[in-house]
Amino acid sequence: MLNIAARRAALVAAVFGVVLATGACGAHPTASVGEPVILAAPAPAATTPPSVVSTQPVPEPEPKPGASGAKPIDPGLLQNAAASVEPNTTLGAVVFDRLAGAELVALNADRQFRSASLVKLLIAIDALNRGASASERDSLARMLSLSDDNLASSFWVKGGRPDIIIRTVALLGLTSTEPPESPGKWGEVRITAHDMLRVYQYVMDQLPPADHTLIVDALAQAPQYAADGYDQHFGIADGLNLQWAIKQGWGNNSNAMVLHSTGLVGQNWRYVVILLTEHPLGSGWQTCSSSVTAAAGALNGLLPGA
């Protein structure tokens, strides 16, 4: 079991003594930093990340109508798979084929979900766009790969908190992403599956090469255990039999639990997969993780060229 008192002290000190309510991976969005609700095994002392070659910018290929084999996928397959594990799962999903330039799945794609740690992608893009230093770039990579809440809170403060969301919404052309109601709660940013698709498209097609590589490499080397000890290899990582680069999210407040699995999959990162889920309180972290994994697994054998 996690040592809650020790983690509280360490996390609060790491954000310059500022107490923020984060909505973090593994923390109550409505609570102060360092109040973990995840009772997961801590990460091993030396977790070896997946063996991944350095990723280089992969511009979206020119669509090849009729040649890609891309066909729409019944979104009910994903919903039913998730519900077979946790019947009350609310799923928002998008699967986009970058080669065909086609959306293969769209389910509740414009429904807003609380972001949990998916907002760390926006935090990273904003920091890079404002000219992050060499040491900050290293910290951004760690924040993404390990889903480090301490670092996210630090960058959230440095970037002006909700101003980060206002800037990235304008920069990326997001249509349904909104800042949190309380400025300190970065995990309460509201996002949609369609906007998360736009985030990945921006990373793949518009970021400068060095920034693109930093983000994609960090996501491709996400170890099994996050900085808070939670097993982040659920959803895409555990359900899809494909190369992946992932950003996950998990958290809860007084209303519901959220678990998200998003990322790039397949050769040359052909596909963007977005799986956002919401569950009733008390559903259980393992059950919720397994429901997201089941939804991802429903895509096996249905993605051409994968």
Q: List the domain boundaries for the chain.
A: 4-41+66-297
What is the pLDDT at residue 170? 98
Residues near 262 by beta carbon (within 8 Å), at least 6 away in sequence: 118, 196, 200, 236, 246, 247, 248, 249, 273, 274, 275, 276
Look up residue 220 and give its two tokens.
């491709």
Q: Is 3.40.710.10 the CATH classification of the domain at 4-41+66-297?
A: yes
- The values of phi and psi at residue 123, to 5°, are -60, -45
Residues near 133 by beta carbon (within 8 Å), at least 6 away in sequence: none
CB atoms under 10 Å from CB of 283, counted, come to 21
CB atoms under 10 Å from CB of 141, counted, come to 20
pTM of structure: 0.82
Give the pLDDT confidence of 73-92 residue by residue, as tens digits.
999 999 999 999 999 999 99
What is the pLDDT at residue 61? 52
Q: Are 246 and 261 in contact (CB under 8 A)?
A: yes
What is the pLDDT at residue 70? 79
Give the pLDDT confidence of 278-303 residue by residue, as tens digits.
999 999 999 999 999 999 999 999 99
Residues near 72 by beta carbon (within 8 Å), at least 6 away in sequence: 104, 105
What is the pLDDT at residue 51? 36
Residue ranges of the chain with per-residue pLDDT less than 70: 1-68
Strand (E) positions, the chain? 90-97, 102-107, 113-114, 190-191, 244-252, 256-265, 271-280
DSSP strand pairing (102-107 vs 113-114) = unpaired
